[in-house]
Amino acid sequence: MSKVTAIVLAAGKGSRMKRSIPKQFLEVKGRPLIAYSLEAFEKSMVDEIILVTGENSIDFCSQIVKIYEISKCTSIVPGGEVRALSVYNGIKASSGDYVLIHDGARPLISQRLIADTIEAVEKYPAVVPVIPVKDTIRQLMPDGSLDDAFDRSALLGMQTPQAFVREEILKAYHKLIDEKTDFSTVTDDVMIMEKALHIHAHPVAGEELNKKITTPEDLAWLNSEL
């Protein structure tokens, strides 16, 4: 039987939320935001959870893991300066054949999405949940004007959990580290596989509800959804 690890990211500063504590620790309907995704993975078929957080938040996260009885959480590890390096620390601490990398700032992840992602990564080395883009997207040009609109039907929004064969994504990270890649330009995990190994991700259907909580408006939305 293959083993599956969920790596839950909670090492960001939440600067766009403009609150004194990182957004993943804000209380939402009586629970810290990060508890929602931890509970979803606890209930799911994943075997192991690795929580990645700031060096100074490790003790606080251990309390959350205890209070919410996240028995699958085997390690809480410090994050990196940028998201991709937090992911790398999480992968190194994991022991699954497959890794699911999830933004702890996406609390409303469903069991359906976790199951579909696992099913797909058993067939493809890289998997990403996607949703259709609803707004028309244009590129801002250096002179301040707007370029022609992209064909919306060909655009997709990327979500998490993005899933990988652990050995493959580790190989990709090692190659990029050797090449002294600037990880601050990497905004999601499938980019790592594309940049290093030219492996393109297989899409699975994401969900509108699986929104990343980024701004105060997103937080208000979450409170109204729950």
Residues near Mg ion (CB under 5 A): 12
- Least distance CB 50 / ligand CTP (angstroms): 11
12 belongs to the binding site for ligand CTP (CB under 6 A): yes
SS (H, E, C) the chain: CCCEEEEEEECCCCHHHCCCCCHHHCEECCEEHHHHHHHHHHHCCCCEEEEEECHHHHHHHHHHHHHCCCCCEEEEEECCCCHHHHHHHHHHHCCCCEEEEEECCCCCCCHHHHHHHHHHHCCCCEEEEEEECCCCCEEECCCCCEEEECCHHHCEEECCCEEEEHHHHHHHHHHHHHCCCCHHHCCCCHHHHHHHHCCCCEEEECCCCCCCCCCHHHHHHHHHHC
**CA–CA separation, 14 vs 11, rounded Å?**
9
Which entry of Mg ion, ligand CTP, none binds 212, CB below 5 to 8 A by partner kind? ligand CTP
Q: Does 11 bind ligand CTP (CB under 6 A)?
A: yes
Among 5, 44, 57, 86, binds ligand CTP (CB under 6 A): 86
Residue number, 17 or 28, with CB nearest to Mg ion: 17
Site for ligand CTP contains 99 (CB under 6 A) = no
Please choose, out of 39-47, 74-82, 122-130, 148-156, the segment that lies near ligand CTP by the rule CB under 6 A: 74-82
Q: Which stretch binds ligand CTP (CB under 6 A): 10-18, 68-76, 108-116, 143-151?
A: 10-18
Alpha-carbon Rg for the chain, nearest whole angstrom, is 17
In the complex, least distance from residue 212 CB atom to Mg ion, rounded to whole angstroms: 10
Of the candidates 25, 70, 40, the one whose C-alpha atom is nearest the C-alpha of residue 207 is 40
Q: How far is the CB of 3 from Mg ion (least distance, A)?
A: 29
Nearest distance from C-beta of residue 59 to ligand CTP, angstroms: 17
CB of 114 to ligand CTP, least distance (A): 16
The region of 3-11, 62-70, 113-121, 144-152 touching ligand CTP under the rule CB under 6 A is 3-11
Q: Is 214 in the site for ligand CTP (CB under 6 A)?
A: yes
Site for ligand CTP, rule CB under 6 A: 9-16, 22, 24, 52, 79-80, 82-83, 86, 103-105, 212, 214
